[in-house]
Amino acid sequence: MLNSWKSIGYDVATIIVAVIAMTGPSKGQSTAPTVECQLGYSSRWGSSWCDLGHPQDISAGSTVEIHLKPGGAKKVLVRFLASQDDPNNNVGIVGGMFEVPSDGIVRLPLTKDRKDIKQISVHGGPRAWDTDLGQENGPAIIQGITVK
């Protein structure tokens, strides 16, 4: 397992920080719930995803915060994939292209309910489906997701 994480640019310190971050906030940190999921990554597509254990609803008025690995993508597409949808199709894209801020957290205030979501994914690299993100755009690697 450790070797597969190293192949996408993580080291032991990063993994330990991620585990600590997922176990809950320390004094003074946000108490927003962390989305529990199985993280995946494709170096071919410069994308990563969070496979939820079971489909979930995310309510309008919530803000989804996707924490990306620093130094990667500067522009991304975000997708909420519903349980009936095929991940190979261009479906569930939210709001078009997003600029990744310097803190690496893409914030998505939801204006409508998202129902029966099985996966949250972020797409970087030079191109995502029919969207040109720029030749210099790096991969989008999810480190964690919170919902406020």
Q: What is the mean pLDDT of each run of 10 residues along the chain (148 residues)?
A: 46 39 43 82 95 94 95 96 93 94 95 96 94 96 95
Q: How many other C-beta atoms are found inside a 10 Å radius of the C-beta of residue 75?
A: 21
Please name every residue paired with 118 in a beta bridge, in sequence order, or none if there are none.
none
Q: What is the pLDDT at residue 9?
A: 54
pTM: 0.77
Query: Distance of alpha carbon 53 from its chain centroid, rounded?
Result: 15
Strand arrangement, sheet containing 114-123: 37-42, 47-58, 114-123, 75-82, 93-99
Q: What is the pLDDT at residue 31?
A: 53
Q: What is the pLDDT at residue 34?
A: 83
Spell out a b/e string for 6-15, using b for 16 or more CB atoms within 10 Å of the CB, else e. Answer: eeeebeeeee
Q: What is the pLDDT at residue 6?
A: 47
Please report, for residues 82, 87, 116, the alpha-carbon distance to residue 53 in angstroms, rounded to integers and kept in the order given.
13, 16, 12
